[in-house]
Amino acid sequence: MTSFVILKRVAPLAAVVLAALAPRPAAAALKVVTTTEGLAAIAREIGGDRIQVESLSRGIQDPHFVDANPMLAVKLRNADLLVDVGLDLEIGWLPPLVNQSRNGEIQPGGPRRFTAASAVQVLDVPTGPVSRAEGDLHPGGNPHFMTDPRRVAQIAAALAGRLTALDGKNAGYYAQRRDAFVKALDAARARWEAQLAPVKGAKIFTRHRTMTYFFDWSGLAGDGELEPRPGVPPPPAHLADLVQIAKRDRVKAISVENFYDTKSADVVSRYSGAKVVLIPGDVGGEPGLDTYEKYLDVVVRRIVGAIQ
Amino acid sequence: MARLLLLPDISAIGSFAGAYSNYDIANQSPRTGPFGPKDKPTPLFEEVELGLQSVIDPYARADIFISFTPDGVDVEEAYLTTLNLPAGLQLKAGKFFSPFGRLNQQHPHVWDFIDAPLAMQRLLADEKLSGPGADVAWLAPLPWFAELHLAGQGTNPSPSQPSDGASSERLTAVARLLQYFPIGDATTLGVGFSAARRSEATGAFRDLGGADLYLRWRPLYSRSYVTLQGEVFARRFSGSMSGELTDALPVLAGELGQGTDWGGYAQLFWRQDAYFGYGVRYDDAPTGPRYGAVGVPEGMEQRYSAIANWYPSEFQRIRLQAAYDRRPGGQDGVEFLLGLEFGIGAHGAHPF
């Protein structure tokens, strides 16, 4: 009975609000919501002023541990396209938000969901049985592929395709921006590869297994992670092992995303001489890094700088 | 893997406790949470919760939680949720925790403390206000999160409490308005108001009211956060019954003239990092013979609790909770709980 009374009171208010907001103007920009700032930056490169882009997380956040804040579901409610990384990177927070949003088309596999991982060749796919005894593994493979500009170009191309499918009248615009972005990225890549050439084959440590794709592209090599297994904190014995490995293999750098603390890295650094390199975790990970190019520029420069 | 084989996500969460108290909780502070006999350290099996979760089809998803406890097996929740109804609507149908307050909708393994606040158990439901029915939730098209729930459920809130109509599921109407407001980048404020009316017998009702507040502060770059959370609950039996019914249901008849009972809790929790968390809680709940307390005069019971948590990984939690309980008539006592929880399998992420 109480329910009916409340419903009666609310219905007129609901009608007014809905009427005000229901019809979407035909010329409105496509609302693109991404899970990370890196994906938002790529979407901006392709969509230009024909789309409105918003990222659910910020570049200074660890993308594994974003809060499933209902405020984010509000952003998803009217999303014309949700762009996520995939491979369970956002498993701890995105699914309840998508469910809360009532936006059925952005569910996994939906017409308004673009999962970036679907556009790239995935590495570190576990073979054989997967168990949490191996730590917090991503059963579908490593989701940290944004450190490889070749894969980012593939994502940009696939995203342009999806934007075109949703907004065909701007197909030419998206294609032109895609070409311009890929061209600029190719030029930047040539520059980065020149910077990387002198240190090719050098081995470094990372905090988490975040640099697999960077190694695949750059020719540097990972010689170990501070985490003995993904997501597992380093015990002293493991750090002692890393010190030995660092001395043996002349490891000169330990890259740590700036949302991690550097205590363990500092210990290994103190006893091995390898330098701790604090890098942004994504676009927006430091002030001023508002494009993909600026972000990777910093990553390449700092790592190369530490090795040389 | 499960998703490749069209299997639902399957998970199991085990909860165990060790309890010690220097007073007779069962009689002096009746509750359903974990406790043992006076002065005897007691190991307790609390629950294994089996979760089965999956989308059903493009239009809906299903969440099923089966609870194995020392009392037996119970379907804790089993409901369908629509994914794309128009106009911001979402329908939940099946058996589920009522959209009333904050803790009532969370599984105990999500709570910051090992046991439920006393006021929630005394005024809302022994375990959970829950039951079979349907809940329509409307997400208002506003720039902040504002969700209005209207639910109709058959509930059986307090089989152990003295209300004759309680022994069976009875129709209950529940309404809840939940809002979240961002305060800068790092802070979120959640405010909820809930109301419910349960038909107890012809002409007699149980009216429930509640307000809840949740303030969460977490710097974006950090795993660390602080939350301040509190709820108040109010309960009143209203209406009038025929003389015949009054004779048949004397306990309920006795409750009808008792006015409104109030209670609540407030808690502060600090998650230091990925591995440790600490909290304090203040409880204020009605007690006395009407709540089954033996030798305790009618009045308010206060409890002060503190908890320390260690999370060896995201899938284990070991905690120690200590509490000092003060009852009317100058009675007091201390309680200790040691809790162990673990989860295996793919368990869906919890809402905020």
Ranges of each domain in chain B: 9-45+85-345
pLDDT of residue B1: 47
Same domain (yes/no): A51, A106: yes
Q: Residue B269 has which token pair?
A: 């929790």
**pLDDT at residue B167 in the model:** 58
> Where does chain B have alpha helices with state H?
25-28, 118-119, 243-248, 250-256
What confidence score (pLDDT) does residue A132 get?
A: 85
**Average pLDDT over all residues of chain B:** 93
- The chain-wide mean pLDDT, for chain A, equals 91
pLDDT tens digits along A262-291: 999 999 999 999 999 999 999 999 999 999
End-to-end CA separation in angstroms for chain A: 75
pLDDT of the residue at B258: 86
* DSSP type of residue A201: T
Contact criterion met (CB < 8 Å) for B142 and A232:
no
8 Å CB contact of B144 and A93: no
pLDDT of residue B164: 56
Query: Is A19 part of a structural domain of the chain?
Result: no
pLDDT band at B151 (very low <50, low <70, confident <90, very high): very high
Secondary structure class of A89 (helix, strand, coil)? coil
Over residues B235-250, mean pLDDT: 86
Helix (H, G, I), strand (E, B) or coil at B132: strand
- Number of structural domains in chain A: 2
B211 CA to chain A: closest CA distance, Å? 17
Q: Are residues A163 and A206 in the same domain?
A: no
CATH architecture of B9-45+85-345: Beta Barrel (2.40)
Write the residue in A68, A71, A139 that is nearest to B349 by C-beta. Answer: A68
Cβ contact B244:B201 at 8 Å = no
Name the nearest CA neighbour of B50 among B311, B339, B346.
B346
**How many other CB atoms are there within 10 angstroms of residue B331's CB atom?**
17
Are residues A149 and A297 both part of a single domain? no
Report how far residue B224's alpha carbon sits from residue B107's, in angstroms, rounded to the nearest whole number.
22
Q: Looking at residue A214, what is its pLDDT?
A: 98
- Residue A308: which residues within 8 A CB-CB, separation 6 or more? A198, A199
8 Å CB contact between A220 and A201: yes
Judge if A182 and A226 occupy the same domain.
no
Residues A176 and A292 in one domain: no
**A21 vs B contacts (CB less than 8 Å):** 141
- Taking a C-beta distance cutoff of 8 angstroms, is the pair B87, B139 a contact? no
pLDDT of residue B241: 84
Rg (CA), chain B: 21
Beta carbons of A2 and B87 less than 8 Å apart: no
CA distance B102 to B193: 10
Phi, psi of B78 (to 5 degrees): -155, 105
Euclidean distance between CA atoms B313 and B272, whole angstroms: 14
Residues A251 and A203 in one domain: yes
A51-55: strand order across its sheet: A51-55, A30-34, A81-84, A113-115
The size of chain A, in residues, is 308
Considering only CB atoms, which chain B residues are within 8 Å of A235? none
pLDDT digits (tens, 9 = 90+) for B62-110: 999 999 999 999 999 999 999 999 999 999 999 999 999 999 999 999 9
Contact status, residue A142 vs residue A123, Cβ threshold 8 Å: yes
Same domain, A117 and A211: no
Helix (H) or strand (E) holding A192: helix A171-196
Three-class SS of residue B144? coil
pTM of the model: 0.90
Question: Residue A212 sits in a domain of what CATH number?
Answer: 3.40.50.1980
Q: Are B351 and A74 in contact (CB < 8 Å)?
A: no
Does A81 lie in the same domain as A152? yes
Range of the domain at A168: 26-121+133-188
Beta carbons within 10 angstroms of residue A282's beta carbon: 29
Q: Half-sphere exposure (CA, 13 Å, Cβ side) for B57?
A: 1
| Cα–Cα dist A278/A254, whole Å | 8
